[in-house]
Amino acid sequence: MPPTEENAGSGHPNARHPSEGRPKPGALAGVRVIDLSRVLGGPYCTQILADHGADVIKIEPPQGDETRGWGPPFAMGLSAYFAGANRNKRCMALDLSSAAGQAVLLKLLGTADVLVENFKPGTLEKWNLGYDEVLARLFPRLIHCRISGFGETGPLGTLPGYDAAAQAWTGIMSINGSEGTGPIRMGLPIVDLAAGLNASFGILAALHERAGSGRGQSLATSLFETGLALLHPHAANFFMSGADPKPTGSAHPNISPYDLFRTKTTPLFLAVGNNGQFAKLCARLGAPALAADPRFLENKDRVAHRADLRAELEARLRDEDGERLAEELLNLGVPAGPVIGVKSAFAQEQARSLRSRLDLDGVGHVAPPVRMSRTPASVRAKAEPFGASTRGVLEEAGYSIEEIRELFAAGVVFGTP
């Protein structure tokens, strides 16, 4: 059940209903971020920072972030894709390819702590805005974060990257799917999202270090490096065995039973990680002797005889209600979950109790997943229309009304795409 006017304003410390008063300052209050990134990895990173109180100024190119057009669905002039990664930010538009646009950026960086960008490597340098050559000298406390497709070196280093391509290049797609289906793209942009998480961690680490040294620094991550780093346990298995991992469907290469099973109703995922959990599962299914069967005594035995184990379990699961059994198993200490849809996921009592969904100004949001006792994150504002804060940001930076008018007239800044 989505939050209503009556229940949306209570319970989850990480979210705020628009009828509530001003939220407490987040842990990053006072940190200013200039966000030059587009699509997902960079915007997801800066949304995390914004949720925790940072003042994020999103600077889009004259044509706008392309995800503004990635739909349907659309509502109130926003695509769902853009809205889901750009809340709590002020949006302006600026032509950075022009000298005048670069001058505006430099003025904004004078009060910034962090600059995030995901241009192809070499783009800032082409505009005479390279970190080592220019930014570090002008702004010694500035933290510069670059998220690229393939990094800065190597044969692919200057090429653009998207999540699906990164899944293919890094082996993720090769282990997702089954022998029957062949490689399948993961159903969410896992590499983009993880790159955003890596970047946000790197920024926080750099801010922490700067508190002692007083110096900024440049940090970089890429979709390629992130994709490789996500390959656990497949990379570790390969390093140790030398064997190229193969797709195993929903099954785990190292653990059994750790797979999807049919029931009378909803498919059930069993994630049994130790002998104690396996014994409890067998007892609940009325087959305690299975835990003592020599084929299934230890995890390595269960992996070696996974086909036999699947047959034994499915024979006992065929008359079970998957969702009810999953809840019973969790109460017994056995990790299990029914396969449910996104709508059902947000409707369940667990999501409601944590206020995992928040409706703000007519737009639904996933609440920030980190709950902090003194400095909670908050959802304060939905994603803005293109260029909505261009004038306000320029006024705040000290530009006069006439100067702003001239910047608009010259095609340096924009209020519409």
Q: Which of the residues are catalytic?
A: 192
Which residue carries 């509530």 as its tokens?
20
Q: Phi/psi at 56 (nearest 5 deg)?
A: -105, 120
DSSP string, 271-327: E--SHHHHHHHHHHTT-GGGGGSGGGSSHHHHHHTHHHHHHHHHHHHTTS-HHHHHH
Distance CA 115, CA 349 (A): 40
Which residue carries 């706008």 as its tokens?
64
- Bond into 288 cis (ω within 30): no
Q: Judge residue 80's burial from the number of C-beta atoms within 10 Å of its C-beta, 0-12 exposed, 13-18 middle, 19 or more buried.
A: middle
Tokens of 24: 């407490």
Tokens of 375: 């400095």
| Structural contact between residues 417 and 64, judged by C-beta atoms closer than 8 angstroms | yes
| Structural contact between residues 169 and 224, judged by C-beta atoms closer than 8 angstroms | yes
Q: How far is CA 326 from CA 222, 264, 329, in A?
A: 38, 13, 5
Which residues does 261 contact at the CB level (< 8 Å), separation at least 6?
267, 268, 269, 270, 310, 313, 314, 317
Q: Phi/psi at 70 (nearest 5 deg)?
A: -85, 90
Nearest to 322 by CA among 382, 259, 267: 267
Which residue carries 């050559």 as its tokens?
133
Residue 88 Rama label (left phi>0; alpha psi -120 to 50; beta): left
What does the DSSP 8-state code read for residue 133? Answer: I
